[in-house]
Amino acid sequence: MSANERAPGWNPPIRILMGPGPSDIHPRVLAALARPTVGHLDPFYLQLMDDLQQKLRQIFRTENRMTFAVSGTGSAGMEAAVVNLIEPADRMVVCVKGVFGQRMADVARRAGADLLCVERPWGSVFQPEDLLPALERHRPKVVGIVMAETSTGASQPLVEIAKLVHDHQALLLVDAVTSLGGMPVEVDRWGLDVVYSGSQKCLGCPPGLAPITFGPAAMELIQRRKSPVASWYLDVRLLSSYWGSERAYHHTAPINMTYALHEALALILEEGLDARFARHLRHHRALKAGLAALGIDYAVEPSYQLPMLNAVRVPAGVDEGAVRRALLERFGIEIGGGLGEFRGKVWRIGVMGYSAREANVLGLLAALEQLLPEFGYSKFDKGASIAAANQVYVEALK
């Protein structure tokens, strides 16, 4: 192979990642990724695993012993949560209001669940009363719900739903892929039984790992299983021997990705959870003020808008894909298009982790001010979006 063949594109373009994830990676995390590889049973690595688990517990706000990182992406975390809890013919309710609820239902169906899907329109969230009939009728062992639906930008409140689910003797399984590290996820206080996330959103690590936590009721249910977990790779009983005190070999852990996640979690704890959540909220407000000045609306009503994932309606007549391509090619800024029902109708703008910075938010607004008129939309005052966003930032400094 000639040097020539290798050359094309081998240096990645520098992007500003403001889509639905991955988000920008802090230089300290990239540096951690490139540290020398050690063996997966090396005393250093075992200590790093302990420390990683301890950090994950702080971020999940839990004492759960079985808190670790699945060796796969967020979707592997979803699968690990479902296949460990569900045995064939077990009754499960999945709340569907976007792509990731649909995906959870698909995973549950493959696990053999006796599944009841409760649906709400895309962009909305579930109130306890929406779930009650399903709980009474189906009497599920497990209820699955997505906290931050990445396809719609809707933020699902969990406290009352967790209470209702437990009142019906079921366990609550929560997708926190997009929320963890960007807004409060109170595993113990809210009573969430199994919660999984992904490394590449508000945690600020490249994609490839799925933090997960199993509470005592979930572990008890898993210990009582009559059939083996369909997945050897994701079997928590086997994994607990490696992530537990025995450190028995299961599979070869993704060493360097673990370095990166460890560093990303260290950054989170250095910043402090509250400060980090406030930062995500501040940039969300600035972005929202700027978008409002551009006349761009959210796909979700204000009280349920996620801070880190802003799903907004594409102005009528604008070719949404062309705008995204121009953002990427001329400004190096990535934002996301719509998925499923929202395809072609919304943009998904992430302010997640290290991406949640003034320069990114202001830069995106400025780029949109420049681009949108080219694509036939100019119903806004020039400079107004920057002024509106800056006002939010200046007020936050007071």
- Nearest CA to 355 out of 207, 205, 186 is that of 205
Three-state secondary structure call for residue 237: helix
Shortest distance, CB of residue 166 to its own copies, whole angstroms?
27
Shortest distance, CB of residue 170 to its own copies, whole angstroms?
22
Please tell me the count of residues contacting its own copies according to CB under 8 A. Answer: 74
Closer Cβ to its own copies, 139 or 325, answer by number: 325
Backbone angles phi, psi at 118, to 5 degrees: -105, 130
Binding flag, residue 270, its own copies (CB under 8 A): yes
d(CA 43, CA 253): 14
Shortest distance, CB of residue 108 to its own copies, whole angstroms?
9
- Of residues 275-334, those binding its own copies (CB under 8 A): 328, 334
Among 114, 231, 273, 345, binds its own copies (CB under 8 A): 231
Among 223, 241, 269, 319, binds its own copies (CB under 8 A): 269
d(CA 234, CA 80): 5
Q: Count of CB atoms within 10 A of residue 248's CB? A: 13
Shortest distance, CB of residue 242 to its own copies, whole angstroms?
11
Binding flag, residue 390, its own copies (CB under 8 A): no
Among 228, 321, 373, 383, binds its own copies (CB under 8 A): 228
Shortest distance, CB of residue 115 to its own copies, whole angstroms?
13
d(CA 245, CA 42): 14
- Of residues 106-125, those binding its own copies (CB under 8 A): 106-107, 109-111
Among 101, 140, 181, 208, binds its own copies (CB under 8 A): 208
Binding flag, residue 182, its own copies (CB under 8 A): no
d(CA 317, CA 20): 23
Three-state secondary structure call for residue 140: coil
Q: Count of CB atoms within 10 A of residue 107's CB? A: 20
Long-range Cβ contact pairs of 184-190 (< 8 A, separation 24 or more): 184/61, 184/273, 184/277, 185/59, 185/60, 185/61, 185/147, 186/61, 187/60, 187/61, 187/62, 187/64, 187/213, 187/215, 188/61, 188/62, 188/63, 188/64, 188/215, 189/61, 190/158, 190/159, 190/162
Q: Count of CB atoms within 10 A of residue 263's CB? A: 21
Q: Count of CB atoms within 10 A of residue 188's CB? A: 14
Closer Cβ to its own copies, 48 or 192, answer by number: 48
d(CA 241, CA 250): 8
- Of residues 30-89, those binding its own copies (CB under 8 A): 30-31, 33-40, 42-45, 47-48, 51, 71-76, 79, 83
Closer Cβ to its own copies, 64 or 258, answer by number: 258
d(CA 97, CA 301): 14
Binding flag, residue 25, its own copies (CB under 8 A): yes
Shortest distance, CB of residue 264 to its own copies, whole angstroms?
12
Binding flag, residue 223, its own copies (CB under 8 A): no
- Of residues 245-264, those binding its own copies (CB under 8 A): 249-257, 259-260
Closer Cβ to its own copies, 110 or 137, answer by number: 110
Shortest distance, CB of residue 298 to its own copies, whole angstroms?
22
Shortest distance, CB of residue 134 to its own copies, whole angstroms?
22
The span from the first CA to the last CA of the chain, in angstroms, equals 59
What is the Cβ-side half-sphere exposure of residue 72, based on CA atoms within 13 angstroms? 12
Closer Cβ to its own copies, 14 or 89, answer by number: 14
Q: Of 17-25, 126-134, 286-294, 299-307, which part binds its own copies (CB under 8 A)? A: 17-25
Angular region, 9: left φ>0, alpha ψ -120 to 50, beta rest: left
Shortest distance, CB of residue 136 to its own copies, whole angstroms?
29
Shortest distance, CB of residue 255 to its own copies, whole angstroms?
6
